[in-house]
Structure 1
Amino acid sequence: MTSSPYVPAASEPQAPRPNLAFRRLRGQRSPGEFAAAVRRAAREIGERVSCDARYIGRVEAGAIRCPNYAYERVFLHMFPGRSLTDLGFAPRASVRGRGARPPVATAHPRPDDPEVPEHTHHEESDVRRRAFMTGMTGSTATVAVATLTPFGVPLGAAPGDAALDRHPARAGAGAVEEAIRRIRLLDDRHGGDGLYRRAATPLRTAFELLDAGTAQGDVAERLTAGAGELSISVGWLAHDSGRFDDARSHYAEALATSRMAGDEALEAHAFCNTAFLARDAGRPREAVRAAQAAARVAAPLGSPRLLSLLALREAGGWAGLGDRPACERSLARAQALFARGGSDADPEWMSFYGEAELEGLEAQCWSALGEWHRAARHARRAAALQDPHFTRNIALYTAELADDLARSGRPDEAADAGSRALGLLRDVRSSRIESMLATTARVLLPHRRAAGVASFLEAHATSRR
């Protein structure tokens, strides 16, 4: 893809250049058929992508200048011997905030995914803003859309859809969906502490758009589902940053939204996160009930992977209650469901759930039951299996490993794992992980003379200061 010799002014939108090379690769298949082929190829290499006809359309329209890492692996698997540029994409470095325009100064971290860049550095932001505002100044919904900017980037429909999304409610639905993706991406890399307060603005705006009542039909459904999913995303940021009461409130709001809309997928997601929160907040019986409720709602949705995750949520509750037989039954069910593989029915929000997360959640169960050696074995596997993109999860699994090793009488190995986790926390802010490491440090205090323990304790104390 070559750029035009004409360089637009900073305030002038530049239309995306269609990706003709990618279009040729699709051949006679429809966008939906090609999207299905992409999902099949992803499963062949153990990758998870939620590809649909709209995504293929965005690629071909040039709205996605470079795919994220998961899609890159899938595309290169589908077309061996070709590079991203052979597939019509721009070089990765050119879409990471250092492109045609000087990047806007920001103190916020940049996500490690060029598909959703954090800086306002190219034409997408201007196209969205103009599409939202043209001819609609003054309406409640328009003002809401125009202010849906949680991370310094106006959000909304993709540039290729701008002509269709001049209605503020439709543009708002796209904005909410994009906000969810960006929040999840940033959380994967950096954890919840630095994101929670910034995420409150798009959540508030999403419900303002919903309350404006301008959305009808499928747009209203998208906006309702998006507001509910955004509540869960913001709730998770609160959860990860130790704000359990706030998280509980956000999950309850998502649950209420799902019930009013009759959205079973959203309801299952809300119950799933409620179960997770209840376990972490020391309410294991509530965790069991919430996980079981989620499984009942999710049963007709046709996603074994979702049911697998919910079985793990239930297992965590049973472990918290000290009921080993019930925990083992739930773990066995989770593993059997996971072994069925992914499907097109798997929700987009479950992109984090792979073999690494399965191992990590099982490690937490054995840890709660006091089976430290077994817990450490699973935590070690989780850290080794995790995709490098999920920095926060690698830090989490490594911190879990450190604690399990410390409690199983292996202080030198625990200190080594704890030091690695501390290193990862330079880029991750998660009160949950920091609390785990603080507990590990207390367990290791009597072993300060063991190899590596003193240096870990010193590094931990320094990080807290």
Structure 2
Amino acid sequence: MASSSRASSPPPPRPNLAFRRLRGQRSPGEFAALVRRAAREIGERVSCDARYVGRVEAGEIRCPNYAYERVFLHMFPGRTLTDLGFVPREAVRGRGARTEPEAPTAYTLGGPAVPDGLRHHGRDTRRNNGDEESDVRRRAFMTGGTATVAAASLTALPLGGAAEAAAVPGPRTAGDAEVSAVEEAVRRIRLLDDRHGADGLYRRAAAPLRTAYALLDAGTSGPGTTDRLYAGAGELAISVGWLAHDSGRFDDARSHYAEALATARMSGDPGLEAHAFCNTAFLARDAGRPREAVRAAQAAARAARHLGSSRLLSLIALREAGGWAGLGDRGGCERALARAHALFDQGPDGRDPEWMSFYGPAEVAGLEAQCWSALGHWERAARHAHRAVDVAVARTPQFTRNIALYTAELADDLARAGRPDEAAAAGQRVLALLDEVQSSRIQGMLATTARVLLPHRRAAGVSAFLEDHASRARV
């Protein structure tokens, strides 16, 4: 029994020797100072210290967030993240960033994970599998659009085999391979949502969620595995809840978020609890329950207060600001916005949750735009939405769905601010992105903008937008 327990525990992270060599003879503190100085040179702000450098070198941080990535590539021009000893970002998006078992063989999304012995020259064949999968997604997109992309990617979810096994009478104990599959499902869903939006993903993503909870019911092979499975299942519930939220299925989203919250409470996971409350606050605001949004955001802040992530607290403060704006309380909104900016300005930290990779200057501007829009300050909202679009296009072009969202927000704010030609131009840019992004939320925003622009339909640019929008709606 003891040997079985040891086998189920995740191995320690592998040290990042390449990064350690780059530090040379400098102390971790001296190197951290160089990182902070390089960040200032390119307009970034990172709170790098000796502890962060130590975590990178120990292999605890397998891939840096986007701010650190830009700084490191600035410090070492011509090198890639792989050259610096990190793993590709697509391999760590979401909970999959945690330490993985040496060689899970049965339950991975894109085929069996690759043991160390099969890695070649610093590049493992999982990257090749990812390239092949990307080719499949590209071909599917060319022939069938986003719904087919989702199908091509999510039909390979690894938990189908586990789901069938879970339906067989009798116990089935979950081990590292099954838990890694749950974590991988979270990563895959988030990557696809970043690029394509929620509408084509929600139904398919519900299947691995059911399997994850079936695995929890069946039990695990050890305490470490149990903790990972609870965390993975909870994050998967939040991811599926977000897909429901973004595709307009608010009741389903509320149910999934509540499931994640219950999982967090049962497992004593404050990070998962904060995430669940944070998303609940966002949902409550969108569903027209602003007071609940405020209360949920405040609950998220209480859960997150000892986690050490200023960026998480910043996002939660923005969720609270959205609730106050929905209540028409400008003072409460401005106080929450000020708190959000102050916390954001403290910079990223190694303790920031992996799921927050989307949260940067563009998202801050986009959420603030939504606050001013809810308060009826259209010009101010438009300025922030414009900044969100510009920053997102420049810094995170891979987040296609967010670019479409910020642009849709901009179009609506401009329309309400009495600038119909500019609003129509922004609306046309959103229409162009809807071939790649399917989000009922974004489509609903664009439909509202079209209604606001109807009195201006004789203007050439507005007329073209309205015709194109109506044509797409008929398809």
1:26 deviates by: 4.0
1:95 deviates by: 3.9
Partner of 2:12: none
Name the structure with the higher helix share.
Answer: 2
1:177 deviates by: 1.0
Contact 2:160 2:208 in 1 (8 A): no
Do residues 397 (structure 1) and 394 (structure 2) align? no
Partners in 1 of 2:135 and 2:344 — Cα distance? 46
Partners in 2 of 1:411 and 1:224 — Cα distance? 50
Partner of 2:375: 369
1:451 deviates by: 3.4
1:202 deviates by: 1.0
Higher RCO structure (Cα 8 Å, ≥6 apart): 2
Aligned CA distance change for structure 1 residues 98 and 321 (closer, same or farther; 3 Å) = closer
Partners in 1 of 2:245 and 2:349 — Cα distance? 28
Candidates 289, 296, 316, aligned match of 2:322: 316
Contact 2:294 2:319 in 1 (8 A): yes
Candidates 266, 270, 281, aligned match of 1:275: 281
Do residues 427 (structure 1) and 453 (structure 2) align? no
Partners in 1 of 2:226 and 2:45 — Cα distance? 32
Do residues 354 (structure 1) and 351 (structure 2) align? no
Do residues 382 (structure 1) and 388 (structure 2) align? yes
Partners in 2 of 1:89 and 1:308 — Cα distance? 37
Partners in 2 of 1:340 and 1:217 — Cα distance? 35
Tell me the secondary structure at the aligned position of residue 452 of structure 1. helix
Contact 1:278 1:287 in 2 (8 A): yes
Pairing of 1:58-457 with structure 2 (within 5 A): 73=70, 76-82=73-79, 95=128, 107=140, 143-144=161-162, 168-386=174-392, 387-457=396-466
Normalised TM-score (structure 1): 0.74
1:82 deviates by: 3.4
Partners in 2 of 1:331 and 1:102 — Cα distance? 42
Partners in 2 of 1:55 and 1:68 — Cα distance? 17
Q: CA RMSD in A?
A: 4.0
Q: Deviations over 1:130-151 (max 9, x none)?
A: xxxxxxxxxxx99517889xxx
- Amino acid of the structure 2 residue aligned with 1:183: I
- Amino acid of the structure 2 residue aligned with 1:200: A
Tell me the secondary structure at the aligned position of residue 175 of structure 2. helix
Partner of 1:162: none
Partners in 1 of 2:324 and 2:428 — Cα distance? 31
1:409 deviates by: 0.4
273-282 vs 179-188, which deviates more?
A: 179-188
Contact 2:17 2:57 in 1 (8 A): no
Query: Which runs of 5 or more structure 1 residues have no equivalent in the other structure?
Result: 1-21, 111-117, 130-140, 149-166
Aligned CA distance change for structure 1 residues 454 and 90 (closer, same or farther; 3 Å) = farther
Normalised TM-score (structure 2): 0.73
Tell me the secondary structure at the aligned position of residue 81 of structure 1. coil
Aligned CA distance change for structure 1 residues 378 and 276 (closer, same or farther; 3 Å) = same
Query: Which runs of 5 or more structure 2 residues have no equivalent in the other structure?
Result: 1-15, 85-120, 145-151, 167-172
Aligned CA distance change for structure 1 residues 412 and 97 (closer, same or farther; 3 Å) = same
1:79 deviates by: 2.7
Partners in 1 of 2:425 and 2:362 — Cα distance? 20
1:27 deviates by: 3.6
How many residue pairs get matched?
A: 391
- Amino acid of the structure 1 residue aligned with 2:457: R
- Amino acid of the structure 2 residue aligned with 1:410: R
Q: Deviations over 1:432-453 (max 9, x none)?
A: 0000000000000110112300
1:201 deviates by: 1.1
Partners in 2 of 1:101 and 1:312 — Cα distance? 34
Partners in 1 of 2:200 and 2:257 — Cα distance? 20
